[in-house]
Amino acid sequence: MATDTPTEEAPVDWLAALLPDPTRRRQWLIETAGHLDRFVDGAPQRPVTPAVTAQALRHHLAAYDFADPRPASAVLADAVELMVKGTVHTNHPRYFGLFNPAPAYPGVLADFITATINPQLAVWSHAPAAVEIERHLIRFIGGLMGLPRETIAGHFTSGGAEANLTALLLATTRAFPAFAKDGARALPGAPRLYASADSHLAWLKIAHATGFGRSAVRLVSTDGSGRMDVAALAKVLAEDRAAGHAPLMVVGTAGTTGSGMIDPLTTLADLCERESLHFHVDAAWGGAAAFSDGLRPCLAGIERAGSVTMDAHKWLAVPMGAGLFLCNDNDGLYETFRVSTQYMPEGVAALDPYTHGMQWSRRGMGFKLFLTLALIGRAGYAALVETQTRQGDRLRRRLVETGWRVVNPTPLPVVCFNRPDGSDPAPVAQRIVESGAAWLSTTVFEGQPVLRACVISHRTRDEDIEELVKALS
Ligand SMILES: *Cc1c(COP(=O)(O)O)cnc(C)c1O
């Protein structure tokens, strides 16, 4: 590991390191920008997957005993290199991965700006601009989804999992006000929530954390095409009611993590209305389709949701983490998260984020979406999701042409496929990932082992789709 550099010999005094003078600050920025530019521009030439071992990383880190300060240039160079070598590159145009995007550069800049200004969003009075920016975005995105404009409420979250937890806490507090004081034991029966077997299994952790227990999550079977089977849902629900349980909430997933399938949202909304259940739509990735006039109809029914989860750090490509929780019940959020203390500044009851959400100290997570949206516009995001959707269609077509069977009928760009002879696809994924040429994964779709490739990088071009198809042959 490099510890000496020709550009700077001595470490900087601690106080001068915490706030360098403008000349040194600029020098550090320029050096860092140089390292990062080399990384960003060189990403397509690097293997997508790191070839590191835990042992090598720990050996490298052992040299950081933090006993003495180190010269900045050497540390910056080494730390960036360490991160670059030890990361799966979502910046690579052939990362056909989980919903982790190549980060939008305005979002990267926005994170830098946010970190520099460091607004504390717990209370409105500490960060009025940042709180209002997030409110503006929540209302904008909720509007795209067709939620009733007058009542759109919500906030940014660390990600989809926190947003889903927020949905369950809100739904339970609203259905059973005694839950606020006396917890799950105040419910008239064992709480139950319903999500499809292909939903995101953070629901299990959430049920655990709320004290409902993992058995509160009813994983309803799918219909043979990866969508929730509504008849099966009605049956489980009737059984639970007959057994004296307390059904609370139905989750429609709009873009399953495994296969990008969209549950029948309108039918679920009807059922929730009939049964007086909270309807939550988990659109962590797929919600971005609302930006496109052509794709928005796939989400029909989302406008009837009592709450929606969406992640800007997935299809909207801002750096992690930036989840959104949207709902139509600001008073319900307050009822769920209210608290007052001696030391918190006197709040604006309807606006303070710490009394309306799970987090207390709160980073300005929305600013990266704000800056990206301001720079590329709504039309830019529409073009992003439409381009990737077309690339997904292209991949589907090319796979079929080259003898693969595509199994998941989604309009969105997640493609699940296998060989018609049903041979195990896992070795194929392993070979490609180990070669570093591309990144894709395996999953199980309706009981069949499949390969999964998602177009998620704005750096992906049609040639990269061809490269993937070639690598698969
Ligand atoms: C990714 C995802 C989540 C979890 O979101 P995080 O941002 O990872 O916390 C929840 N639901 C779905 C459908 C997802 O794809």
Cα 16 to Cα 8, 10, 319, 380: the distances in Å are 15, 12, 29, 42
Ligand 1 pocket check: which of 100, 217, 285 to mutate, most ligand atoms within 8 Å of Cβ? Answer: 285
Q: Rounded to whole angstroms, how far apart are CA atoms 48 and 435?
A: 9
* Coil, strand or helix at 190: coil
pTM for this structure? 0.96
pLDDT interval class at 349 (50, 70, 90): low
* E strand or H helix at 251: strand 246-253
pLDDT (tens digit per residue) in 421-462: 989 999 999 999 999 999 999 999 999 999 999 999 999 999
pLDDT (mean) for 326-338: 96
pLDDT interval class at 351 (50, 70, 90): confident
Q: Give me ligand 1 centre to Cα 200, in Å.
A: 6
Q: Is pLDDT of 346 > 90?
A: no
Start-to-end CA distance of the chain, whole Å, equals 40
Q: Which residues contact 352 (CB under 8 A, 6 or more apart)?
A: 122, 123, 124
Q: Are 217 and 250 in contact (CB under 8 A)?
A: no
Residue-level length of the chain: 473
Does residue 198 line the site of ligand 1, with CB under 6 A? no
- What is the pLDDT at residue 7? 53
**Which residue's C-alpha comes closest to atom 6 of ligand 1?**
160
Ligand 1 pocket check: which of 251, 309, 310, 443 to mutate, most ligand atoms within 8 Å of Cβ? Answer: 309
Does residue 311 line the site of ligand 1, with CB under 6 A? yes
How many C-beta atoms lie closer than 10 Å to residue 317's C-beta? 28
**Which residue's C-alpha comes closest to atom 4 of ligand 1?**
160
Both tokens of residue 437?
Answer: 């040429």
Q: Rounded to whole angstroms, how far apart are CA atoms 302 and 407?
A: 25
Residue keyed to tokens 């490298």? 60
Ligand 1 pocket check: which of 199, 257, 299 to mutate, most ligand atoms within 8 Å of Cβ? Answer: 257
Q: Is pLDDT of 3 > 50?
A: no
Q: Is pLDDT of 344 > 90?
A: no
- What is the pLDDT at residue 121? 97
Closest ligand 1 atom number to CA of residue 164 = 10
| Cα–Cα nearest to 133, from 147, 350, 124, 356 | 124
Q: Rounded to whole angstroms, how far apart are CA atoms 103 and 113?
A: 16
**Which residue's C-alpha comes closest to atom 5 of ligand 1?**
160
- What is the pLDDT at residue 8? 53
Over pLDDT 70: what percentage of the chain? 97
Does residue 161 line the site of ligand 1, with CB under 6 A? yes
pLDDT (tens digit per residue) in 285-319: 999 999 999 999 999 999 999 999 999 999 999 99
Q: Is pLDDT of 95 > 70?
A: yes
Tell me, what amino acid is at 61?
A: L
Q: Rounded to whole angstroms, how far apart are CA atoms 137 and 455?
A: 25
Q: Give me ligand 1 centre to Cα 456, in Å.
A: 14
Average pLDDT, the chain: 95
**Which residue's C-alpha comes closest to atom 3 of ligand 1?**
160
Helices (H) and strands (E) in the chain, counts: 15, 11
pLDDT (tens digit per residue) in 206-220: 999 999 999 999 999
pLDDT (mean) for 255-282: 98
Maximum distance among all Cα pairs of the chain, rounded to whole angstroms: 77
CA-based radius of gyration for the chain: 24
Does residue 282 line the site of ligand 1, with CB under 6 A? yes
Q: Is pLDDT of 263 > 90?
A: yes
Does residue 325 line the site of ligand 1, with CB under 6 A? no
Tell me, what amino acid is at 402?
A: T
Closest ligand 1 atom number to CA of residue 321 = 7
Does residue 323 line the site of ligand 1, with CB under 6 A? yes
* Coil, strand or helix at 408: coil
Q: Is pLDDT of 4 > 50?
A: no
Residue keyed to tokens 């529409």? 382
Does residue 252 line the site of ligand 1, with CB under 6 A? no
**Which residue's C-alpha comes closest to atom 10 of ligand 1?**
160
* E strand or H helix at 282: strand 278-282
Cα 170 to Cα 44, 139, 194, 449, 452: the distances in Å are 44, 19, 15, 37, 34
Q: Which residues pair with 418 in a beta bridge?
A: 405
Q: Is pLDDT of 252 > 80?
A: yes
Ligand 1 pocket check: which of 200, 205, 281 to mutate, most ligand atoms within 8 Å of Cβ? Answer: 200
Query: Positive or negative, the Cα torsion across 339, 345, 350, 351?
Result: negative
pLDDT (tens digit per residue) in 123-180: 999 999 999 999 999 999 999 999 999 999 999 999 999 999 999 999 999 999 999 9
Both tokens of residue 359?
Answer: 């987090």
Peptide linkage before 321 cis (omega within 30 of 0): yes
- What is the pLDDT at residue 117? 98
* Coil, strand or helix at 193: strand
Q: Give me ligand 1 centre to Cα 462, in Å.
A: 27
Q: Are 210 and 192 in contact (CB under 8 A)?
A: no
